[in-house]
């Protein structure tokens, strides 16, 4: 049963990571025209950094593990980084944030790239949902055999 739980825990960590990625992508899309932030300057595109972590939750699980050299890993969000690319300068002298030359600094966000990232994150989330459901179905089938 512990292997089913490990599989479920790994799938759920993937779902959590993809949810964080989707949140960053939706923030990028929502702020595509934000020319002024509280920090000053245009909005900076956000990107999520993932890291593989060992699946053991605590020291007790490591001690009771049947395979101490298990390579199972879960994914974890370790950071949300801001893009350092230069902003896009567009000529719009009537904009309130225009510089003396009439140019406005807009976030360097490509909508098509963000939509592609959103589709990829959604599909990865769905794959983790399918894997979680498969683990649940196998656990339930194993319990049915015991009846």
Rounded to two decimals, the pTM is: 0.81
Per-residue pLDDT band at 85 (split at 50, 70, 90): very high
> Per-residue confidence at 60, pLDDT binned at 50, 70, 90?
low
pLDDT over 80 (residue 116): yes
What average pLDDT score do residues 47-75 get? 71
Q: Rounded to 5 degrees, what angle do the CA atoms 49, 54, 60 make?
A: 140
In angstroms and rounded to an integer, the radius of gyration of the C-alpha atoms of the chain is 22
Give the tens place of pLDDT for each residue, 91-110.
999 999 999 999 999 999 99
**Predicted pLDDT at 129:** 95
Q: What is the DSSP string of the chain?
A: -HHHHHHHHHHHHHHHHHHHHHHHHHHHHHTTT----TTSSS---EEEEEEEEES--SHHHHHH-S-TT---EEEEEEEEEE--SPPEEEE-TTSTT--TTSEEEE----HHHHHHHHHHHHHHHHHHHHHHHHHHHHHHHHHHHT-
């Amino acid at each position: 049963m512990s292997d089913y739980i490990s599989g479920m825990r790994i799938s759920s960590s993937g779902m959590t990571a993809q949810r964080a990625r989707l949140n960053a992508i939706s923030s990028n899309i929502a702020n595509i025209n934000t020319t002024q932030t509280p920090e000053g300057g245009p909005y900076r595109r956000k990107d999520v950094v993932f890291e593989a972590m060992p699946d053991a939750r605590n020291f007790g699980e490591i001690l009771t593990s049947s395979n101490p050299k298990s390579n199972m890993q879960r994914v974890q969000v370790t950071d949300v980084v801001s893009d350092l690319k230069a902003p896009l300068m567009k000529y719009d002298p009537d904009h309130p944030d225009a510089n003396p030359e009439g140019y406005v600094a807009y976030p360097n966000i490509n909508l098509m790239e963000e939509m592609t990232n959103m589709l990829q994150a959604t599909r990865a989330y769905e794959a983790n949902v399918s894997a979680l459901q498969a683990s649940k179905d196998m656990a339930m089938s194993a319990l049915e055999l015991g009846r």
